[in-house]
Amino acid sequence: MRANNVLGILFTDAYSECISDLTALRTMGSVPFGGRYRFIDFPLSNMVNCGISKVGIITKSNYRSLMDHLGTGKPWDLSRKNEGLFMLPPFNQGNGSYSGRIEALKNIMDFIHMSKEEYVILCDTNIVCNMDFGALLEYHSQKNADITICYKNGNYPMLANVMRFEINENSRITGVSVPPTPGEGEGDFAVNFIVMNKSLLERIINQAIAGIYTTFEKDVIMKNVDKLNIYGYKIDTYCSVIDSVQSYFNTNMDLLDPVNREAVFDRSNPVYTKVNDDMPSIYGIGSSALNSFIADGCKIEGEVENSILFRGVQVARGAIVKNSIIMQSCYIGEDACLNCVIMDKYGVIRPRKSISGDTSYPIYIGKNITI
């Protein structure tokens, strides 16, 4: 399958509510992650690394930060004469916004219809995974599948409409269940990277417009499991589905483990992001940095341990930052002390203040907050 025969579609709002603090002012796709990234960088880089050259970005609200981040798509090489990046905010929706995947797709029916690609890949943005989409596309055509859905085995995410699969020895999905409310447990569950033929997607949307389908997972996938060739594609690399502030915290901290880091930042599949042109980070005299993941432009005079520092963070003399995620341009004052904190952008901790959460209950400090 030629990758430029595949249309990429990203749902940047899907599951925003599961980390409502972090998404109060932004989309799920533009939540900062891993020192210098936003969630959308991961699926978007997966797409462009395999050669996909047309990507539509579905978004419904709070998308200023997303648009600022993506710009013309240049860092992903998607600023092009032909194809490239397409922002798809709500359009021609009587009441302004839409709810759910099907409605979002209905809303961009024209965009999908006008695209010349034969296949589509639909991706959520609450997934941190660097994988070879080329192999996934190849698998889809090899299996002659109607729909291929990625899955992994593990604890079910605590999210609505997570598809749980029964899969036979040929990787064909034979059973799908979607519990009415998220429940705990373990098994094969969907990671929403979904490949299908574009004509099938158009047919599904048309049927939805006719009122047959309302939810993608229950009405499209679950009800058609016998009628369509639906295959599962097992993800065998690092893959984290964000379902809570806790999992956001844990997934960041996972990057301190070299094995996970190698998997997420696989050098043959680079993860692209907006370039900021910060200077290198400065480690001052008497500073200490241990087991930490630190972006450019930081100035460290105090102590940093088991933490993720985004671009331009300043840690003043005597300050201690442990087990924390500190976003862009935060300032930690002298002798301040942070433990298990998620600090959103441009925050300021005044000298000698101390804030401590727990690894099982990190404390979130909002954007632009001064303490």
Partner 1 sequence: MARKTECLAMLLAGGQGSRLGILTKKVAKPAVPYGGKYRIIDFPLSNCINSGIYTVGVLTQYQPLELNDYIGNGQAWDLDRANGGVHILSPYQKIQGTDWYTGTANAIYQNINFIERYNPEYVAVLSGDHIYKMDYSKMLAFHKEKNAACTIAMLEVPWEEASRFGLMFTDDDGRITAFEEKPKNPKSNKASMGVYMFTWSKLREYLIADENNKDSSNDFGKDVIPAMHGAGERMFAFPFDGYWKDVGTIDSLWEANLDMLNPVANIDLSDTTWKIYSNNPVTPPQYISAKAKVQNSLITGGSHVEGEIDYSVLFSNVTVEEGAEVKYSIVMPGAKIEKGAKVQYAMVAENAVIKSGAKVGEDPQECANLGEWGVAVVGPGLTVGEKAKVKAKVMVTENVEGGAEI
Name the residue nearer to partner 1 (CB basis): 29 or 75: 75
Closest separation between CB of residue 302 and partner 1, Å?
A: 13
Q: Which is nearer to partner 1, 36 or 38 (CB)?
A: 36
Instruction: Give least dist CB 196 to partner 1, A.
Output: 30
**What is the identity of the amino acid at 356?**
S
DSSP for 7-75? EEEEESSTTGGGGTTTTSSS-GGG-EETTTEETTHHHHHHHHHTT--EEEEE--SS-HHHHHHHTTSGG
Give whichever of 47 and 208 is closer to partner 1, judged by the CB atom. 47
236 DSSP 8-state letter: -
Rounded-to-integer distance, Cα 228 and Cα 307, Å:
46
Q: Whole-angstrom Cα distance, residue 36 to residue 313?
A: 11
Residue 59 or 314 with smaller CB distance to partner 1: 314
Q: Residue 302 is which amino acid?
A: G
d(CA 330, CA 365): 11
CB of 47 to partner 1, least distance (A): 15
CB of 58 to partner 1, least distance (A): 25
Enumerate binding residues for partner 1 (CB under 8 A).
34-36, 74, 256, 258, 261, 264-265, 270-272, 275, 277-297, 299, 308-309
Q: Which residue number, 49 or 115, has a Cβ lying nearer to partner 1?
A: 49
> Least distance in Å: CB of 74 to partner 1?
7
Packed helices 41-49 and 133-142: angle between N→C axes, nearest 10 degrees: 60
Smallest gap, in angstroms, from Cβ of residue 136 to partner 1? Answer: 22
Q: Give the residue with the Cβ less far from partner 1, 132 or 278.
A: 278
**What is d(CA 81, CA 63) in angstroms, rounded to the nearest whole number?**
24
Min. distance of Cβ 282 from partner 1 in angstroms?
Answer: 6
> What's the order of all strands across the beta sheet hosting 341-343?
308-309, 325-326, 341-343, 363-365
Q: Which is nearer to partner 1, 301 or 344 (CB)?
A: 301
Is residue 238 within 8 A of residue 130, CB to CB? The reply is yes
